[in-house]
Amino acid sequence: MNYEKEIEVLGKYDVVVAGAGPAGICAAVAAARQGKKVALIERYGALGGNLTVGCVGPILGKVAKGTMYDEIRDLLGVQDREHGGNKVQDMEDTKSVLLDFVMKEKIDVYMQTPVVDVLHDDNKIKGIVTSWKTGLGILQGEEYIDATGDGDIAYFSGVPYEMGRPGDKRLQPVTVMYIIQNVDESKAITCVGEEDEVKIGGERFLEFTARCCKEGILPENCYCVRLYRTTYEGERLVNTTQVNYVDPLDRKQIMEADQELRHQMNIITDFLRKYVPGYEHCTIKTGASTLGIRESRRFSGKYVMNISDLREARRFPDVVVHKAQFVVDIHNPVGGGQANGIAEYVDAYDIPWRSLVPQKMENLILAGRCISGTHEAMASYRVMAIAMAIGEAAGIGAALAIDHNVTPENLDVKYIQKALMDKGAVLFDEK
C-alpha cells in the first residue's frame, strides 16, 4: 500500500535532539548554552526517561568532576556514588526539576512526540518525522543528536548497528521497577546487591531469596531481590522483576514481557508480605510506565569502545568523558544474575569523541547507550551518570560543528575539550 500526504514542517532549528532521558536532556541544554536554537523530542509525557518514567534509581555511575551530571545531581539532592547505596530520588519531583532545567534554556520541547521516520539522502539528514494528535510533522535542524536509547534516528537513517552479545546475539533481560509503601522501618531491611550482608532468620537475605526462587516461591530468575530506600519513610524501590529472551524492538514480545512483569510485581510483593519482617503490610505504590531496557541497538561509529578500553582504563586524545566508572554489569541474557557469575569491576576509563560520531550520516551525533561500543563495554557506560556526560559532550559538539561549519567528524575535538574545561570539567589526568 502506498501512502502519500503533505507533511507540515513544525520548526527549523540549529540542533534537534531526540530522546529526553538523561543523555538527551544534557545534550539539549549544552547546545542551548552554546547559543543554539534547540528542539527536544520526547515520546513520553514527561522528561527524564528511565530516571522518571522508568522508575530507575539511584543514579548509577561516576565521571570526573565538572560535568552537567554534577549540576543535575545537586538539583535533585542525590549523592555522587558509583554504585547504588544512596537513597532513590523522588520520581515525580524529578520530572518537575528536569522540565524547569530544560525550559530555563528556552528549548522547544515536544512531548508525546515519537520519532517515526527520518528524511535523508546518502549521508545527510534533512528532517525528523514525528507523530502527534494532529498527524505527522517534520522538525529540521543543521545537526541532530540521537539520544533515544534504541537509536531511532540512526536506525531510520540506515546507520549500521549490532545487537546483543557475540555469537547468539542474546540481549540482557528487561525489567519493570516499582515502589512499595507501608514498610515498617523499625524492622525492615534494605538490600541493594550482592555486597549487602543483611540477614533474615540468620540467613543472608540474597541466599534466602535465591532458595525461594529455586523452590518456585519467586518467579524464575528473580532471585536477587533488591530493595532501595527512597526519600520517604516506609517506602522501597524494588528492582527484581525479569524476563529473558525479549527483543525490545518487537512489539509483540514487548507486550508479552510487560504483561509478565506486571504479574511478577504482584508475586514479589506477596512474597515480601509473607516472608520478610517489616514488609507485612506493604502495598504497591507505583510502577514504571515503561519497561527497563538495558540494551538494544549499538551503532557503528568512528571508534568502537571495547572491554579492553575499560579493563586498561584507557585514555584517549579525543576524550570527551573522563574517568567514566561503573561495573561491567551484564545481566544474564539466558538466566538469572550476572552473565559471568559476578559483575566485573574496572577502573575509570575515558570515552572518545569518535564513539559518538556514527558512520554514514555526517550531521548526526550519538548520545547514551546507543553510542559505538561492544556488548561488554556498553554494559558499563549505559548507566545514567555516564549518559549525562556523553549527552553534554554531544550537545557542545553539535553546536561547535555549526559554528565552525564542519561535520562532527571533522570538528577539531580540542574545541569541545576547551568548552568543557572552561565550564570546569576535568578531562585529563593530573601530571
Non-local (6+) Cβ contacts of 399 within 8 A are 14, 15, 30, 31, 34, 35, 36, 143
Closest CA to 131 of 152, 117, 144: 117
Helix (H) or strand (E) holding 119: strand 115-120
Instruction: Give CA–CA dist 205/200, Å, rounded.
Output: 6
More confident residue, 304 or 86: 304
Whole-number pLDDT of residue 135: 92
Q: What is the share, in percent, of the chain residues with pLDDT greater than 70?
A: 97
Which of 41-50, 254-263, 334-343 has the least mean pLDDT?
334-343
347 and 277 within one domain: no
Residue 260 lies in a domain: yes
- How many residues in total does the chain contain? 431
302-317 pLDDT, tens digit per residue, is 999 999 999 999 999 9
In angstroms, what is the C-alpha Rg of the chain? Answer: 21
> Pick from 258, 287, 316: which residue ends a domain?
287
- DSSP calls for 154-179: HHHTT--EEESSTTT-PPPPBB--EE
Q: How confident is the model at residue 86 (pLDDT cuts 50, 70, 90)?
A: low
Closest CA to 23 of 78, 74, 77, 61: 61
Residue 1 lies in a domain: no
Number of domains in the chain: 2
If you average pLDDT over residues 263-267, what whole number do you get? 98
| pLDDT of 193 higher than 80 | no
Q: How confident is the model at residue 79 (pLDDT cuts 50, 70, 90)?
A: confident
Q: Rounded to 10 degrees, what is the CA torsion of 307, 311, 313, 319? A: 0
Burial class (CB in 10 A: 0-12, 13-18, 19+), 243: buried
Residue 429 lies in a domain: no
Whole-number pLDDT of residue 237: 95
Distance of CA 147 to the CA centre of its chain: 9
Q: Which domain holds residue 153?
A: 8-166+295-422
247 and 302 within one domain: no
| pLDDT of 57 higher than 90 | no
Whole-number pLDDT of residue 80: 65
| pLDDT of 195 higher than 80 | no
Helix (H) or strand (E) holding 139: strand 135-146
386 and 344 within one domain: yes
Instruction: Give CA–CA dist 354/60, Å, rounded.
Output: 24
Contact 9, 140 (CB under 8 A): yes
405-414 pLDDT, tens digit per residue, is 999 999 999 9
> Pick from 266, 287, 308: which residue ends a domain?
287
Helix (H) or strand (E) holding 307: helix 307-311
Instruction: Give CA–CA dist 116/97, Å, rounded.
Output: 28
Residue 418 β-bridge partners: none
202 and 242 within one domain: yes
Q: How confident is the model at residue 196 (pLDDT cuts 50, 70, 90)?
A: confident
Residue 427 lies in a domain: no
54 and 31 within one domain: yes
- Average pLDDT value over all residues in the chain: 95
> Pick from 287, 305, 321: which residue ends a domain?
287
Residue 171 lies in a domain: no
Residue 53 lies in a domain: yes
13-28 pLDDT, tens digit per residue, is 999 999 999 999 999 9
Residue 47 lies in a domain: yes
More confident residue, 243 or 90: 243
300 and 156 within one domain: yes
225 and 148 within one domain: no
